[in-house]
Structure 1
């Protein structure tokens, strides 16, 4: 356990430029606290102490804002960055060197009975707010974009974005027909609605002017 804790602290110092010291990481990183408490809960869960393991899980959730079911299987060097609102389901399997950001849900769809939650292979990154749902597998080295909703298996070395999630890159190559993910050029639905109303008003004014010219209003 102490070797695991030391490994996790060194991982944070390597990955997070905001981390200044081992002391700071040990006392202030809630993602680490959630993982460490989960390791205890998971051992109890495997030994059939289901209620006690759930109690530890709920205490961890109260302290960290991160909910990890004690049945979930977690690999080494899991980095839950910020972490508030992260939910990891009972039958999840997470590989090594995985990064998860705040607001991520690794959950079920309600249609599965036994294996209900996703598997994340090694080196997967799941960005803020993403939902990965159901008995699916996210291949190694893949990236899930922020706020995406993923319901399908994802091959390794892929990038997934959107609702529902679509594979836009694989092995560094853009998928033919996939939309380019340009966050500086995303549509603004409110602006589009205002422009549409302006166009309708212009058309209405033109119709009124034409009727006045033709005398058809008399």
Structure 2
């Protein structure tokens, strides 16, 4: 019990360090749904480790109902996870999260549907994952990495880097820019695939015209 109280005080202290909108420890304790979700997760995780799976999931679902944040009780989470404006956050069963990580609303730490066993991300220490980012699969996010808003991460991310885009790519590594990012022309995989399909259709149309011409000559 004393350990949990110490962890709660540490959680509140970290939130106040990270969020300039936090005016007092009492305000954080009472009103921050991200903290409430983490505290309920810790109860559910203890039950999950004891193999009381149904009870663990029940506590987890209660936390989801209260906070709109879904943390699977099987996930492994370190010290001081700060979920800010946490609505819509999803953290999968085999996710591993290190210490002093910050996650914003709409983030998914999920699977791809193609893996078994360890199928969710491993997130290092002091990582920041911005609004709406999707980190999918059994990959690793290195310490002090930053994931840009709306990014879709499908590959491991090195330490001390910033990644953005769909799919996410490294734009800053060890404090140095490695890719000039044009904010108005981010990669559009749907547009690229559509363009490839149009090129293919044009090739097929030319072949069809040639076959029709050959068939017409044969009939004559």
- Shorter-normalised TM range: 0.7 to 0.9
Write out aligned runs for 1:1-218 (5 A).
Answer: 1-175=4-178, 178-180=179-181, 182=183, 186-187=184-185
1:179 positional shift = 3.2
Matched residue, 2:211 = none
Give distance in 2, aligned partners of 1:121 and 1:142.
Answer: 8
| CA distance, structure 2, for counterparts of residue 181 and residue 2 of structure 1 | 47
- After superposing on structure 2, the runs of 4+ consecutive aligned residues of structure 1 that deviate more than 6 Å are none
Supply the distance in 2 between the matched residues of 1:155 and 1:12 (Cα, whole angstroms).
25
- Deviation sequence 1:66-110 (CA, Å, 0-9, x none): 000000000101110010000000000000010000000000000
Q: Which runs of 5+ in 1 are unaligned?
A: 189-218
Separation of aligned partners in 1, 2:99 and 2:145 = 13
Instruction: Provide Cα deviations, 1:171-191, integer angstroms capped at 9, x if missing partner.
Output: 01111xx23254xxx259xxx
- Quote the Cα distance in structure 1 between the aligned partners of 2:52 and 2:81: 24
CA distance in 2, matches of 1:181, 1:94: 31
1-side partners of 2:124 and 2:182: how far apart? 24
Q: Distance in 2 between matches of 1:94 and 1:118?
A: 8
Q: For 1:97, what is the secondary structure of its paired residue?
A: coil
What CA deviation, in whole Å up to 9, does each residue of 1:28-57 have, x standing for no partner?
Answer: 000000000000000000000000000000
The alignment yields a C-alpha RMSD, in angstroms, of: 1.2
State the TM-score, normalizing by the size of structure 2.
0.81
CA distance in 1, matches of 2:182, 2:96: 29
- Secondary structure of 1:109's counterpart equals coil
SS at match of 2:48: helix
Q: Which runs of 5+ in 2 are unaligned?
A: 187-220
- Rounded Cα–Cα distance in structure 1 between residues aligned with 2:162 and 2:56: 35
